[in-house]
Amino acid sequence: MLRTSAVQLAGDLRSGTTTAAAVAEAAIERHDRLDPTLSAYKVWESDRARREAALADTALAAGYDLGAFQGLPVSVKDLYGVRGFPTFAGTPTRLPASWEEEGPVVAALRRGMAVIPGKTHTVEFAFGGLGTNPHWGTPRNPWDAASHRVPGGSSAGAGVSLWEGSCVLALGTDTAGSVRIPASVTGCVGLKTTAARWSTLGITPLSRTLDTPGVLARSVGDAAMGFAAIDPQTDEHPLDLVAALSGYDLSTLRAGVCDWFYRDCAPGVAEAVEQAVQELSGAGLHVSRLDLPELDDVIGIFRTGGITAAEFAAFINTELPDWKATLDPNVRSRFERMEAVPAIDYISRLWRLRDVAAKVMARMAPFDFVIGPTVPITPPTVEAVAGAEAYQSANMMALRNTCTANLLGFCAITLPVGKDAAGMPVGIQLMAGPEQEELLLAAGMACEHVIGTPVERLGLPPLCA
């Protein structure tokens, strides 16, 4: 499972080389053996996976090809409503039934007869970038066999589930980096879509303005297949889109390397990214430096709570007031400040970000995308961020580079390029303006042809080999 892509499995199912039932059994075996250590899932149902796989096989045998993910297992973050599964959103108490209703993202996979065997752990209400959860425990980053390192958040179990081998695609959400951070620190590919391109109906919100559904995968091709299966603007069959995007010539692309993203990186992070940039440049990618001083304004707004804090406080107080008392202490300690944001400050932040985004877009005009490290720090151990001060410092650094895409209204993708001095995965972020997902996927595939897929570049995590 770990060395076979979703794209290949989709082809194997159609050629009769394998069956959905066989894929499901392999996923169940991996989960049963590894999840007691990795703890990727909040809920897992083997029998459901078997039933859905059998139906997918029956449909294929009868000539009904309903989508590229027919019969393939997909993990879903426990913010999404999924029929037959409870939604906790990382809280200690099950949410009302209305939050278990499926929205368009899950429905798109359902129509294609994807198998959904379980829901992965999330930071409570998705409000955090490290992946910790005091209520249900923190999934273990599989790249450190000696210490329990954080898996990145808030889609904490998503990347872990991919390396566990219990799924071939993972659904996450990204409000300030919650797809790209776990993808980066667990050595996966993660795509953050443009806000409003994919509906957030059926997803417990953190920020209705900034929330974006996204996908994590073990290759850019798999991420592209997932994107095409879900995207309402894409008419092509997912496998056809993957084939079309794989033909990009790296020498036709222009990348701006922004030094801002390299500030205060942990040992080995900047070096791994720069090594990859040199390889890509040697293979034909046009690379030059790009200065984006406006990013200081963006991060300044983010550090005051940005847009998310006020919207999250409004959501909890309006929709789920009874859940306020049991909030994670790392969230609750900031809640009073969230509630105290005046409307004038909230609106002025929206206006300022709109103006900053226009300036950044103008500077980016000569380039197809901007490059930099996805996460500037080594994922810390759970023990190291047990205290409030240490948590807040690490959380802010984890989110620093990724939050810019959300606040500017851009899309972005991360793919692994190496390991840092601690032996943990390092991701490179490609960020582009709104509605440029296809370009980023094509660029990512072109880059992957040079630097290799995650397995080729990094090998297998020691806890998953």
Residue where the block lists tokens 């009073």:
336
75, 154, 166, 219: the active-site residue = 154
Asked about 77 being catalytic, the answer comes back as yes
Query: How many other C-beta atoms lie within 10 A of the C-beta of residue 334?
Result: 18
77, 119, 192, 419: the active-site residue = 77
Q: Which residues contact 216 (CB under 8 A, 6 or more apart)?
A: 155, 158, 159, 162, 169, 170, 172, 179, 182, 183, 188, 189, 190, 191, 223
> In terms of Cα–Cα distance, which of 406, 419, 414 is closest to 373?
414
Asked about 154 being catalytic, the answer comes back as yes
Q: Which residues contact 276 (CB under 8 A, 6 or more apart)?
A: 417, 418, 428, 447, 451
By CB neighbour count within 10 A (0-12 exposed, 13-18 middle, 19+ buried), where does 110 fall? Answer: middle
- C-alpha angle with apex 460: 459 to 462, nearest 5 degrees? 125
Q: Distances in Å between the alpha carbon of 317 and those of 313, 324, 347?
A: 6, 8, 19
The answer to whether the Cα torsion of 30, 36, 38, 43 is positive or negative is: positive
- Residue 41 CA from chain centroid, whole number: 16
Packing angle of the helix pair 329-339, 388-400 (nearest 10 deg): 70
39, 155, 178, 207: the active-site residue = 178
Asked about 192 being catalytic, the answer comes back as no
Strands 41-44 and 118-120: antiparallel
Query: How many other C-beta atoms lie within 10 A of the C-beta of residue 205?
Result: 22
**Do 308 and 176 touch, CB atoms closer than 8 A?**
yes
DSSP result, 19-71: -HHHHHHHHHHHHHHHHHHH--EEEE-HHHHHHHHHHHHHHHHTT----TTTT
Query: How many other C-beta atoms lie within 10 A of the C-beta of residue 94?
Result: 12
DSSP result, 135-167: TT--PPPTT-SSS-B---SSSTTHHHHHHHTS-
**Do 165 and 358 touch, CB atoms closer than 8 A?**
no
**Cis-peptide, bond into residue 154, ω within 30° of zero:** yes
Residue 327 has which token pair?
């909030």
Where in the sequence numbering do the catalytic residues fall? Answer: 77, 154, 178
